[in-house]
């Protein structure tokens, strides 16, 4: 018992976990923070940032585990003095290193979750995605530690870092099922889509199965107990099953997500993704002047709807369909320009003459509320500049067809 207590005290004072926690936390926070979409608080993207951080944390944790494994071999003579199994010390080491890695991972998760919660968040955090990152991190720790036990050389930790780094970075997100093997390489989740729970669950199963198989194989190598082959085969079977399920997904980690829009209904009706509901007041302010100027024309609209990136934008039956990926500076002007672009016939305007393009630019500047451009027809510019707001609106109602076809001429401004 005294020898066992001595071993436990020595193990408790080891420095590897003390080094791993702050180092992994700092690297993980920076990596996840850079992966977050700065102006959209979407929980699915928060999970993606956390999972992608493991692609950097994993190789670092594996290298630290391999380094600790090589250093801790000096304690083997003390462990041999106890009646414990020779695998017990290694299992305790992996448990300590895994706890340190998970503590850092938990801190990173808390930081990105608080950042998302403090903004206009939407969706729900995928718990399975958080578990996928945690199990992948533990898998790296186990693989790195066992590599250090099998090849007790200082160079092993460097080899482990390089090998796991290549495994994490050699796959392109969204290309094939291969990219979904832990640690998964995930693309940013676009609005109106969400992470597929089945793919995340398969990632958890794959990591857990392979980690268990590695540990059981190592313990069986030390003890040579035949009964351990049964759980080893079961763990390998789970990994194989998860691989088959990931292959069947064909690399699709996201799918359509039913999301109810957030709307504001006066003086226009504007509906956007809930993650962007903070933009409703400024969008209302930016688009109301354009709606007022188009009132009474075939391009009039009373409703603005944000559509997924794959859906077409444009004007139809009083509804302006827009695309809005985020709230980067200038997003209001971007939306107004999208609505303006939907007013004209793209095919007809592709072959417009220079003078017609100048007239259209002059009218567009008024519709958008920007500075009037200089055009070659000074008389038309002077006449248009002297008209009141009401006169311009009446003129647009009378000449909207020519504006729509990019066929305005000097006669329209007489």
Residue 390, CA distances (Å) to 193, 293, 294, 387 in order: 43, 9, 11, 8
Single out the residue of 289, 316, 286 nearest to residue 303, CA to CA.
316
Alpha-carbon distance of 40 to 26, in angstroms, equals 23
Burial 48-63 (b: 16+ CB within 10 A, else e): bbbbbbbbbbbbbbbb
C-alpha dihedral, 327 to 328 to 333 to 337, nearest 10°:
-90
Interacting residues of 210 by C-beta distance below 8 A, sequence separation 6+ = 139, 235, 239
Can you read off the two tokens belonging to residue 79?
A: 């462990």
Q: What is the DSSP letter of 255?
A: E
For residues 35 and 115, give the distance between their C-alpha atoms in angstroms, rounded to a whole number.
13
**Does residue 14 have a cis peptide bond before it, meaning omega lies within 30 degrees of 0?**
no
Contacts of 119 (CB under 8 A, 6+ apart): 41, 278
Task: Identify the pLDDT of residue 294.
Answer: 93
- Reported residue count of the chain is 414
Give residue for tokens 């909207």.
400
- Please tell me the predicted confidence (pLDDT) of residue 69: 84
> Which regions of the chain are under pLDDT 70?
1-18, 72-87, 310
Distances (CA, A) of 36 to 131, 186, 404: 19, 12, 41
Q: What is the CA radius of gyration of the chain?
A: 31
Q: How far apart are CA 64 and CA 23, in angstroms?
A: 10
Contact 353, 345 (CB under 8 A): no
pLDDT in tens, 39-88: 788 898 899 999 989 999 999 999 989 988 887 665 554 444 444 556 67
* pLDDT attached to residue 88: 74
Cα–Cα distance between 148 and 300 in angstroms, integer? 70
pTM: 0.80
- Closest to 269 in 3D by CA, of 249, 285, 253, 284: 284
| pLDDT score at 390 | 94
Q: What are the contacts of 79-87 at 24+ separation with CB within 8 A?
A: 79/7, 81/3, 81/7, 82/3, 82/4, 82/7, 84/4, 85/219, 85/222, 85/223, 86/222, 86/223, 87/218, 87/219, 87/222, 87/223
């Amino acid at each position: 018992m005294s020898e066992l207590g001595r071993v436990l005290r020595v193990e408790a004072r080891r420095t590897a976990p003390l080094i791993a926690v702050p180092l992994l936390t700092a690297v993980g926070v920076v990596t996840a923070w850079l992966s977050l979409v700065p102006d959209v608080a979407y929980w699915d993207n928060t999970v993606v940032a956390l999972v992608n951080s493991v692609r950097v944390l994993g190789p670092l944790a594996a290298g630290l585990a391999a380094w600790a494994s090589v250093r801790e071999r000096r304690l083997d003579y003390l462990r041999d003095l106890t009646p414990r199994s020779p695998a017990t010390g290694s299992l305790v080491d992996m448990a300590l290193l895994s706890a340190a890695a998970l503590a850092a991972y938990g801190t990173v998760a808390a930081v990105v979750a608080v950042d998302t919660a403090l903004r206009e968040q939407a969706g729900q955090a995928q718990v399975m995605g958080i578990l996928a990152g945690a199990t992948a991190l533990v898998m790296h720790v186990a693989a790195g530690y066992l590599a250090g036990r099998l090849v007790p050389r200082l160079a092993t930790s460097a080899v482990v870092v390089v090998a796991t780094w290549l495994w994490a970075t050699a796959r392109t997100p969204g290309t094939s099922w291969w990219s979904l093997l832990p640690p998964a390489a995930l693309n940013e989740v676009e609005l109106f889509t969400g992470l597929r729970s089945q793919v995340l669950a398969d990632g958890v199963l794959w990591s857990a199965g392979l980690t268990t198989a590695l540990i059981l194989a190592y313990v069986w190598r030390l003890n040579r107990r035949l009964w351990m082959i049964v759980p080893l085969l079961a763990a390998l079977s789970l990994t194989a099953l998860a691989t088959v399920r990931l292959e069947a997904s064909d690399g699709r980690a996201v799918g359509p997500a039913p999301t109810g829009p957030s709307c504001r209904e006066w003086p226009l009706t504007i509906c956007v993704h809930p993650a962007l509901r903070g933009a409703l007041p400024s969008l209302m302010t930016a688009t109301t002047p354009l709606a007022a100027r188009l009132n009474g024309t075939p391009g009039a609209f009373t409703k603005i709807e944000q559509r997924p990136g794959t859906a077409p934008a444009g004007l139809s039956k009083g509804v302006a369909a827009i695309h809005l990926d985020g709230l980067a500076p200038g997003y209001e002007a971007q939306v107004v320009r999208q609505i303006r672009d939907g007013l004209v016939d793209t095919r007809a305007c592709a072959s417009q003459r220079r003078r017609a393009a100048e007239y259209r630019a002059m009218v567009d500047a008024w519709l958008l509320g920007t500075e009037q451009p200089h055009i070659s027809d000074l008389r038309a510019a002077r006449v248009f500049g002297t008209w009141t707001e009401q006169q311009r609106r009446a003129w647009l109602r009378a000449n909207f067809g020519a504006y729509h076809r990019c066929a305005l001429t000097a006669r329209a401004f007489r």
